[in-house]
């Protein structure tokens, strides 16, 4: 399964292993900075390289009896001085991750429905299933805010997840605008049938294609950087 | 009070290039050398964003090498473009320093 891995995976794994040797204070400081910078400034690969550099600085400082803070000074100032990354690439990455999340959620929800329906050859779909998607996005949005709440500047929180959640909620309310029908006003008309294995296969194919495209993108980024020891 | 940091900021990039041109070196050592020369407020954290910027502009290049302390260090060296930029900086700085010195000496007469 080597084709599923990329340079970013290797770098993240390496960072995780090396970070374990940094003191708790240093680890918290690095996590704090990476989360702050990741909000606006750098794209994923640049962020992983920054983490590697910060871990290196922390390890060296601690070896000589100092702390990371004494080497870099004010953390916020340090982060604010970093040059901005490619905004287009950042948007693309964000879109990729939201799509990947949505695909993952779709696959899990569908697998559950397929399982509960006793692996029938033909599956029935209703608009009412949107409620699962709604719950998933609510979870994503809340977790994003919880993660970002540790940042210094709370105004920088990304509201994208909440925006998507609001859109799905609006669609859900629109389609369910009928109190007498538990499936909503379009619930029954939007019910359709398909072969049980088909949606799963399509989801898997999209996921693999996305993964391959992402790997090619990371590979291109890694080519321009010296990231290996 | 005069903001010395602002004056330093403009010249720091050129000084970093000069330090790197002398030998392939790493962030902490660059900071230590600059401190020795008189940039007392310089820390590794001040240099890092500048080094990233110079690397993005392909003026310097970096490689990770093992250090005697254990963790690998990022060593920086000058590229051809970096050498050219350093030459231009040296010419510009000498001109500016000459002009500023002339003005200041004129005032003290």
Q: For B35-61, write each residue's pLDDT tens digit.
A: 999 888 788 888 999 999 999 899 999
What whole-number percentage of chain B has pLDDT above 90? Answer: 55
Q: What is the mean pLDDT of residues B72-79?
A: 90
The domain that holds B26 is classified in CATH as 1.10.10.10
Chain B hits for A72, CB-CB cut-off 8 Å, are 43-45, 48
Q: Picking from A30-44, A142-156, B22-36, B73-87, which range would have the lowest pLDDT averaged per residue?
A: A142-156
Q: Are A44 and A95 in contact (CB under 8 A)?
A: no
Residue A125, classed as helix, strand or coil, is strand
Search chain B and give the residue with CA nearest A75.
B45
Search chain A and give the residue with CA nearest B74.
A53
Whole-angstrom CA distances from A135 to A51, A138, A166 are 33, 5, 12
| Rounded CA separation A161/B4 (Å) | 45
- Does B49 touch chain A if contact means CB atoms closer than 8 Å? yes
One domain for residues A46 and A99: no
Q: What is the mean pLDDT of residues A119-148?
A: 66
One domain for residues A129 and A64: no
- HSE (side-chain half, CA atoms, 13 Å) at A64: 13
Enclosing domain of residue A152: 87-216
Chain A hits for B65, CB-CB cut-off 8 Å, are 229
One domain for residues A126 and A156: yes
Run of H or E residues at A77 = helix A75-81
Search chain B and give the residue with CA nearest A55.
B71
- The residue among A40, A56, A85 that closes a domain is A85
One domain for residues A103 and A202: yes
| Rounded CA separation A88/A207 (Å) | 22
> Is A51 part of any domain?
yes
Q: How confident is the model at residue A164 (pLDDT cuts 50, 70, 90)?
A: low
- Does B29 touch chain A if contact means CB atoms closer than 8 Å? no
User: Count of CB contacts below 8 A, A vs B?
Assistant: 61
The full DSSP string for B9-45 is HHHHHHHHHHHHHHS-EEHHHHHHHHHHHT-TT--HH
Chain A hits for B56, CB-CB cut-off 8 Å, are 83
- pLDDT for the residue A117: 72
Chain B hits for A55, CB-CB cut-off 8 Å, are 71
Chain B hits for A56, CB-CB cut-off 8 Å, are 71-74
ipTM (interface pTM): 0.84
Search chain B and give the residue with CA nearest A71.
B44
Say how many domains are in chain A.
2
Q: For A9-61, write each residue's pLDDT tens digit.
A: 888 888 999 999 999 999 999 998 988 887 767 888 888 899 999 998 999 88
> Is A227 part of any domain?
no
Highest mean pLDDT among A120-124, A202-206, B84-88: B84-88
Judged against a pLDDT cut of 50, whether residue A130 lies above it is answered with yes
Choose the closest CB to A78 out of B45, B64, B74.
B45
Q: How confident is the model at residue B16 (pLDDT cuts 50, 70, 90)?
A: very high
Choose the closest CB to B46 out of A53, A73, A227.
A73
Say how many domains are in chain B.
1
Closest CA to A44 of A1, A76, A90, A2: A90
Chain B hits for A83, CB-CB cut-off 8 Å, are 49, 52-53, 56
- pLDDT for the residue B78: 94
- The residue among A56, A85, A114 that closes a domain is A85
């Amino acid at each position: 399964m080597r084709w599923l891995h990329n340079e970013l995976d290797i770098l993240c794994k390496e960072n995780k292993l090396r970070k374990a040797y940094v003191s708790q204070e240093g680890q918290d400081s690095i996590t704090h900075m990476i989360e702050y910078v990741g909000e606006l400034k750098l794209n994923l690969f640049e962020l992983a390289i920054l983490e590697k550099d910060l871990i290196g600085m922390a390890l060296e400082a601690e070896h000589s009896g100092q702390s990371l803070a004494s080497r870099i000074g004010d953390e916020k100032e340090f982060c604010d001085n970093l040059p901005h990354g490619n905004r287009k690439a950042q948007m693309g990455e964000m879109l990729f991750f939201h799509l990947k999340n949505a695909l993952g959620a779709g696959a899990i929800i569908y697998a559950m429905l397929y399982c509960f329906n006793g692996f029938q050859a033909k599956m029935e779909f209703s608009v009412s299933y949107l409620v699962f998607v709604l719950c998933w996005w609510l979870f994503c949005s809340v977790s994003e805010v919880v993660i970002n709440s540790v940042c210094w500047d709370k105004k920088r929180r990304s509201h994208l997840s909440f925006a998507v959640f609001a859109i799905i909620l609006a669609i859900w309310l629109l389609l369910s605008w009928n109190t007498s029908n538990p499936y909503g006003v379009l619930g029954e008309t939007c019910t359709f049938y398909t072969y049980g294995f088909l949606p799963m296969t399509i989801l898997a194919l999209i996921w693999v294609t996305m993964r391959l495209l992402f790997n090619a993108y990371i590979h291109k980024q890694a080519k321009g950087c010296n990231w290996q020891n | 009070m005069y903001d010395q940091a602002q004056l330093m900021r403009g010249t720091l990039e050129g000084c970093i290039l000069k330090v790197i041109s002398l030998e392939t070196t790493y962030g902490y050592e660059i900071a230590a050398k600059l401190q020795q020369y008189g940039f007392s407020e310089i820390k590794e954290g001040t240099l890092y964003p500048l080094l990233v910027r110079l690397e993005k502009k392909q003026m310097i290049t970096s490689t990770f090498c093992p250090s005697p302390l254990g963790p690998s260090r990022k060593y920086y060296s000058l590229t051809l473009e970096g050498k050219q930029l350093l030459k231009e900086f040296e010419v510009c700085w000498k001109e500016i320093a000459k002009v500023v010195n002339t003005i200041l000496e004129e005032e003290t007469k």
